[in-house]
Amino acid sequence: MSATGLRMSNFVYILECADKTLYVGCTNDLKKRLKQHNSAKTGAHYTKIRRPVVLKYSKKFRTLAKARAREAEIKRLPREKKLKLIRT
């Protein structure tokens, strides 16, 4: 739980970059992280040089451990399976 006593949500997400490549990540603030990917000077170098990025998929998890585990699973998927996940 956070300092305010509220549970934090954790998200796994897939972005589509301007060059049509996919980026998989994990965050506890999806809106803020998407903004960082599109405009921040710091952050993921991969997306920084492939802007703009568009959120194509996200899923909420109760724990960071579960979100990280799912992120790792998705990263191991071939591109076609990631695209299928986005479409569902």
Residue 69 lies in a domain: yes
**Residue 52 maps to which CATH number?**
3.40.1440.10
Question: Residue 77: what residue type?
Answer: L
Does residue 1 carry a pLDDT above 70?
no
Structure tokens at 74: 């998705």
* Exposure string for 13-44, b = 16+ CB within 10 A, e = fewer: bbbbbeeeebbbbbbeebeebbebbbeeeeeb
Structure tokens at 1: 């739980």
Residue 88 lies in a domain: no
Q: Which domain holds residue 64?
A: 10-79
Domain count, the chain: 1
Question: Residue 55: what residue type?
Answer: L
Residue 88 binned pLDDT confidence (cut-offs 50, 70, 90): confident
Residue 4 lies in a domain: no
Model confidence pLDDT, tens digit, residues 47-87: 999 999 999 999 999 999 999 999 999 999 999 999 999 99
Model confidence pLDDT, tens digit, residues 16-54: 999 999 999 999 999 999 999 999 887 789 999 999 999
pTM for this one? 0.90
Task: Give which of 29, 25, 31 is closest to 12, Cα–Cα.
Answer: 25
The pLDDT of residue 5 is 47
